[in-house]
């Protein structure tokens, strides 16, 4: 029999707490609901059970390389807000701004998306495409684009696979998905990487400045 106790002060303001009954080494029900905070797009989720591996089980860890300036990042094919598959290779031959953001409809992510929208004509004048990526599903992206009249592509990175492959760093000790923008040139090579979680509108200024120099 294995006994596990949880500290009473664990995320008190963000997650509902329940007293577990009859803890066993196989299934430990801890939480019955998921909770979500609008703090910069922070989402909390959990599984309904906790399994304790036996001493004979092994844990596999995957390490992803970080994409650096001057490199060609890993390609991807993801669903857009209309459910269509979109590949990074589609944009080859023109500059493309790929920005990763935490979540649809959160205050800071909405502010950033609307700033890209308001400067969209400047991006078009520079011959560049704008692509936003988060872990939200296509239906969430569709509503987000409609609510804020977004004229550019939003892609659904289910499981944050592409985010991990590109090495986008998280914030708040890993609890908050990072807000990072990449500018790729016509050859698909990274010319700018800009990270700023708490000043989302600065991403637009920095990317336009770089695009105008290409």
Tokens of 73: 């990042």
User: What gap in Å lies between CA 80 and CA 207, rounded to an integer?
Assistant: 22
Tell me which of 109, 113, 168, 184 is the catalytic residue.
109
Residues 153, 130 contacting (CB under 8 angstroms): yes
Tokens of 79: 């669903």
Phi, psi of 159 (to 5 degrees): 75, 5
Handedness of CA 3, 4, 7, 12 (dihedral sign): negative
Tokens of 149: 């009249």
For residue 114, indicate whether it is catalytic.
no
Active site residues: 109
């Amino acid at each position: 029999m294995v006994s596990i106790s949880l500290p009473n002060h664990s995320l008190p303001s963000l997650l509902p707490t329940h007293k577990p009954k009859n803890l066993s080494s196989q299934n430990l029900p801890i939480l019955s609901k998921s909770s979500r905070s609008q703090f910069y797009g922070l989402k909390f989720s959990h599984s309904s059970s906790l399994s304790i591996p036996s001493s004979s089980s092994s844990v596999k860890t995957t390490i992803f390389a970080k994409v650096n300036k001057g490199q060609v990042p890993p390609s991807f094919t993801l669903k857009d807000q209309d459910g269509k598959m979109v590949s990074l290779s589609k944009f080859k031959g023109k500059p493309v701004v790929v920005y990763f953001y935490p979540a649809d409809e959160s205050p800071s992510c909405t502010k950033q998306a609307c700033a890209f929208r308001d400067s969209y004509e400047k991006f078009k004048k520079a011959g560049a495409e704008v692509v936003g990526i988060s872990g939200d599903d296509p239906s969430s992206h569709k509503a987000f684009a409609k609510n804020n009249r977004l004229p550019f592509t939003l892609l659904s990175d289910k499981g944050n696979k592409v985010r991990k492959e590109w090495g986008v760093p998280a914030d708040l000790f890993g609890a908050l998905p990072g807000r990072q923008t990449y500018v790729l040139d016509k050859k698909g090579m990274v010319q700018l990487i800009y990270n700023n979680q708490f000043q989302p509108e600065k991403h637009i200024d920095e990317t336009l400045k770089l695009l105008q120099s290409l």
